[in-house]
Amino acid sequence: MKFTDLGLSPEVLKAVDEAGYTKPTPIQEKAIPYVLMGRDLLGCAQTGTGKTASFTLPMIDILASGRARARMPRSLILEPTRELAAQVAESFEVYGKYNALSKALLIGGSSITEQERKLERGVDVLIATPGRLLDLFERGRILLAGVKILVIDESDRMLDMGFIPDVERIVGLLPKIRQTMFFSATMPPEIRLLADAFLMNPKEVAVDPPSSAADTVVQSLVKIAGERKDKRAALRALVRAEAVKSALVFCNRKRDVDILFRSLKKHDFSVAALHGDMAQPVRTDTLARFKNGEFQLLVCSDVAARGLDLPEMSHVFNFDVPIHAEDYVHRIGRTGRAGRAGRSITLALPEEARALAAIVGLLGHPIPEMTADGVAGWTGGDPSPRGGRRRRTRKRTSDQPRGTPTARNVAPETAQSRSAGTQAPESRNGADRRPAKTAPTRAEPRRAEPARAAPKEPALRERTPVERTPKERPAAAPSRPSEPFGEHTPAFLLRPVDPV
Ligand code: AMP
Task: Tell me the HSE value of 415 on the side-chain side, using a 13 A CA sphere.
Answer: 21
Q: Give the C-alpha distances (Å, rounded to integers) separating 316 from 224, 290, 401, 416.
A: 17, 14, 43, 22
The angle, 0 to 180 degrees and rounded to 10, between the axes of the packed helices 82-95 and 280-291 is 50
189 Cα to the center of ligand 1, angstroms: 28
Q: Which of 11-15, 116-120, 306-310 has maximum average pLDDT? A: 11-15
Is residue 137 in a domain? yes
If you average pLDDT over residues 153-166, what whole number do you get?
90
Q: Averaging pLDDT over each range in 148-162, 463-477, 483-497, which range is the top one?
A: 148-162
Kindly state whether residues 237 and 312 are assigned to the same domain. Answer: yes
Same domain, 224 and 340: yes
pLDDT recorded at residue 446: 31
Q: Tell me which residue has its CA closest to atom 14 in ligand 1.
A: 50
Mutate to test the pocket of ligand 1, among 47, 84, 217, 309 (most ligand atoms within 8 A of CB): 309
- CA-nearest of 80, 30, 21 to 55 is 30
Atom of ligand 1 nearest to the CA of 307: 4
Distance between CA atoms of residues 329 and 363, nearest Å:
8
End residue of a domain, out of 206, 235, 267: 206
Percentage of the chain exceeding pLDDT 90:
52
CA pseudo-torsion sign 394, 397, 403, 406: negative
Spacing, Cα 387 to ligand 1 middle (Å): 32
Domains in the chain, number: 2
Give strand pairing partners of 315. Answer: 247, 343
pLDDT of residue 380: 66
Classify 283 as helix, strand or coil: helix
Q: Are residues 222 and 200 in the same domain?
A: no
Q: Are residues 193 and 224 in the same domain?
A: no
Q: Is residue 381 in a domain?
A: no
How far is 255 from 421, CA to CA, in rounded Å? 11
On whether the CB atoms of residues 83 and 308 are closer than 8 A, the answer is: yes
Query: Does 32 share its domain with 180?
Result: yes
Say if strands 315-318 and 247-250 run parallel, antiparallel, or are unpaired.
parallel
- Which one of 21, 47, 154 would you pick to mutate in the ligand 1 pocket, going by the greatest count of ligand atoms within 8 A of its CB? 21
pLDDT tens for 225-243 read 989 999 999 999 999 999 8
Please answer whether residues 57 and 79 qualify as being in contact, where contact means their C-beta atoms are separated by less than 8 angstroms.
no
Cα of 50 vs centre of ligand 1, distance in Å, is 4
Of the pLDDT bands very low, low, confident and very high (cuts 50, 70, 90), residue 372 is confident
For residue 154, give the amino acid letter: E
Element containing residue 158 per DSSP (H, E): helix 155-160
| Of 329, 363, 397, the domain-final residue | 363
Residue 321 to residues 105, 138, 253, 464: CA-CA distances in angstroms?
A: 33, 40, 11, 22
Both 202 and 221 in one domain: the answer is: no
To test the pocket of ligand 1, the residue of 23, 88, 337 to mutate (highest count of ligand atoms within 8 Å of its CB) is 337
Which tens digits make up the pLDDT trace of 251-292?
999 999 999 999 999 999 999 999 888 887 888 899 889 988
Fill in the DSSP letter of residue 99.
S
Distance from the CA of 29 to the center of ligand 1, in angstroms? 13
Average pLDDT, the chain: 77
**What's 352's DSSP letter?**
G
Provide the pLDDT for residue 213: 64
Residue 295 lies in a domain: yes
For ligand 1, the distance from its centroid to the CA atom of residue 49, given in whole angstroms, is 6
Comparing 363 with 380, the larger pLDDT belongs to 363
Q: What is the pLDDT of residue 468?
A: 32
- pLDDT at residue 160, as a whole number: 82
Nearest CA to ligand 1 atom 5: 50
The Cα-based distances of 446 to 39, 185, 316 in angstroms read 33, 17, 24
Tell me, in angstroms, the distance from the centre of ligand 1 to residue 437's CA.
34
What residue ranges line ligand 1, CB within 6 angstroms?
21, 24-25, 28, 47-53, 309, 311, 337-338
Q: Is 133 exposed, middle or buried (0-12, 13-18, 19+ CB in 10 A)?
A: buried
Are residues 202 and 237 part of one domain?
no
Average the pLDDT over each of 3-7, 43-47, 124-128 and give the range with the smallest value. 43-47
Do 198 and 257 lie in one domain? The reply is: no
Residues 123 and 94 grouped into a single domain: yes
pLDDT of residue 413: 30
Q: Is the confidence at residue 318, as pLDDT, over 80? A: yes
Give the domain-ending residue among 177, 206, 235.
206
- CB-count exposure of residue 218 (10 Å: 0-12, 13-18, 19+): middle
Which residue, judged by its Cα, is nearest atom 16 of ligand 1?
50
Q: Is there a single domain that holds both residue 176 and residue 229?
A: no
Domain that residue 175 falls in: 3-206
The secondary structure of residue 180, as a DSSP letter, is: E
Distance (Å, rounded) from C-alpha 62 to C-alpha 149? 9
Strand segments (E) across 342-466? 342-348, 369-370
Return the closest-CA partner of residue 352 out of 160, 222, 468.
222
Report the CATH number that the domain containing residue 229 is assigned in CATH: 3.40.50.300
Please check whether residues 308 and 357 belong to one and the same domain: yes
- Rounded Cα distance, 436 and 429, in Å: 10
In DSSP notation, 11-65 reads: HHHHHHHHTT--S--HHHHHHHHHHHTT--EEEE--TTSSHHHHHHHHHHHHHTS
Return the number of other C-beta atoms located less than 10 Å from residue 320's C-beta. 25
Q: Is the pLDDT of residue 24 over 90?
A: yes
193 and 280 together in one domain: no
Banded model confidence at residue 209, pLDDT cuts 50, 70, 90: low
User: What type of residue is 316?
Assistant: V
Pocket test for ligand 1, best of 52, 81, 83 (most atoms within 8 A of CB): 52
Q: From the centroid of its chain, how far is CA 448?
A: 25
> CA-to-CA distance for 113 and 445, rounded, in angstroms?
43
Task: Quick: pLDDT tens for 413-467.
Answer: 333 333 333 333 344 333 444 433 333 333 333 333 333 333 333 322 222 323 3
Residue 168 lies in a domain: yes
The ligand 1 atom at the shortest distance from the C-alpha of residue 3 is: 19
How many angstroms separate the alpha carbon of residue 338 from the centre of ligand 1?
Answer: 6
**pLDDT computed for residue 197 by the predictor:** 93
pLDDT above 60 (res 484): no
